[in-house]
């Protein structure tokens, strides 16, 4: 089911539209007849009449008529085309930073109704490397954003900070199955980002058709004891079920993702993150008098399509 804001937006659209429609069909004609009768009684001299006093339009109708077109457009765009999101945490660093404002393409993974989120039109499915927004499986009113690294049928292993993938293949023809492969990674920088006092390694990870940046903290242990356990696999191995996806944050040692909460159901997908349209830098100095929610800079260099 959709989040509270989406439900409120849809209800506001329906209520304002219904008020406007009922008034246009039933009450507005009555007001017009009263005005016409008054004009006739005045001998056609409408200048002597106060139309507002004769048949005033109720304030609720005037408000509904004013807001309905705008609310309807916002609801349509937000429900079926693009929805803006703000990045609240560093789990997708360096791809997305705290203070980035992104656009999520809602129609990338099917067109869904805005309330119950049932598919209306089939449009597509996630691909390896997509940055996707989805409803957190353990609390579906919360939106998460991670990178899709595993598709249905894939075998995923994350071991010693290295991602291995064996892509799904037809059950009938095992000879065409690809072997388990380690994704290619190359060091891009060291110390550009930090986790407290610890410098992070920025790496370029390549899944075969898309390259993107990830962060690793060499000092952070792998919390395999907290990993989601799947029957029949090793503790750091996952077989993606049909109709599900495996998602990971690019900040690999600071991300709560499918390693910990399990697989993302297809029904939970919201859309594909495609563009950074604004990026604010916020105050991080604990001694500053400025609240942390006040922007102190704009990172214009970050604006553009996501990798």
Total of domains in the chain: 2
Are residues 190 and 51 part of one domain?
no
Query: What is the per-residue pLDDT across 218-260, written as a single tens digit (0 to 9) for each?
Result: 999 999 999 999 999 999 999 999 999 999 999 999 999 999 9
Q: Active site residue: 16, 79, 91, 258, which one?
A: 91
Are residues 223 and 166 part of one domain?
yes
Are residues 162 and 17 part of one domain?
no
Task: Look up 91 and say whether it is catalytic.
Answer: yes
Of 15, 50, 81, which one is at a domain's C-terminal end? 81
Q: Of 44-48, 229-233, 275-279, 285-289, where does mean pLDDT reach its minimum? A: 44-48
Q: Of 64-73, 85-94, 169-178, 266-275, where does mean pLDDT reach its minimum? A: 169-178
Are residues 202 and 275 part of one domain?
yes
Of 53, 81, 109, which one is at a domain's C-terminal end? 81
Query: What is the per-residue pLDDT across 114-125, written as a single tens digit (0 to 9) for each?
Result: 999 999 999 999
Are residues 212 and 252 part of one domain?
yes
Are residues 13 and 101 part of one domain?
no
Of 58, 81, 104, which one is at a domain's C-terminal end? 81
Q: Active site residue: 112, 146, 201, 272, which one?
A: 146
CATH of the domain at 114: 2.10.109.10
Rounded-to-integer distance, Cα 86 and Cα 92, Å: 12
Is pTM beyond 0.85? Reply is yes
Cα within 13 Å of Cα(132), Cβ side: 32
Are residues 146 and 107 part of one domain?
yes
Q: Which domain holds residue 37?
A: 4-81
Task: Look up 288 and say whether it is catalytic.
Answer: no
Angle at 71 between CA 69 and CA 73, to 5 degrees: 70
Contact 31, 52 (CB under 8 A): no
Are residues 206 and 233 part of one domain?
yes
Using only the alpha carbons of the chain, give its radius of gyration. 27
Rounded-to-integer distance, Cα 289 and Cα 277, Å: 28
């Amino acid at each position: 089911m959709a989040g509270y804001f989406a439900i409120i937006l849809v209800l506001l659209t329906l209520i304002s539209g219904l008020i406007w429609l009922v008034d246009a069909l039933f009450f507005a004609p009555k007001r017009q007849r009263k005005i016409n009768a008054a004009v006739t009684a005045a001998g056609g001299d409408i200048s002597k009449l106060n139309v507002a006093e004769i048949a005033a339009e109720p304030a609720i109708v005037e408000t509904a008529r004013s807001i309905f077109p705008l609310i309807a457009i916002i609801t349509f765009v937000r429900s079926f085309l693009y929805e803006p999101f703000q990045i609240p945490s560093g789990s997708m660093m360096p791809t997305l930073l705290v203070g980035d404002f992104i656009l999520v393409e809602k129609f990338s993974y099917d067109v869904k109704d805005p309330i119950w989120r049932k598919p209306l039109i089939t449009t597509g499915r996630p691909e390896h490397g997509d940055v996707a927004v989805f409803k957190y499986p353990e609390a579906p009113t919360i939106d998460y954003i991670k990178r899709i690294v595993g598709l249905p049928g894939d075998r995923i292993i994350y071991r010693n900070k290295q991602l291995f993938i064996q892509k799904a293949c037809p059950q009938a023809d095992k000879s065409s199955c690809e072997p388990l492969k380690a994704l290619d990674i190359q060091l891009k920088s060291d110390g550009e980002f930090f986790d407290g006092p610890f410098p992070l390694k920025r790496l370029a990870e390549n899944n075969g058709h898309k390259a993107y940046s990830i962060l690793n903290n060499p000092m952070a242990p792998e919390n395999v004891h907290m990993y989601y356990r799947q029957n029949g696999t090793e503790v750091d191995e996952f077989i993606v079920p049909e109709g599900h996806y495996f998602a990971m944050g690019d900040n690999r040692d600071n991300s709560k993702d499918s390693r910990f909460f399990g697989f993302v159901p297809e029904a939970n997908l919201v859309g594909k993150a495609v563009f950074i349209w604004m990026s604010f830098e916020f105050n991080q100095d604990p001694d500053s008098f400025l609240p942390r929610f006040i922007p102190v800079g704009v990172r214009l260099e970050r604006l553009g399509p996501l990798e």
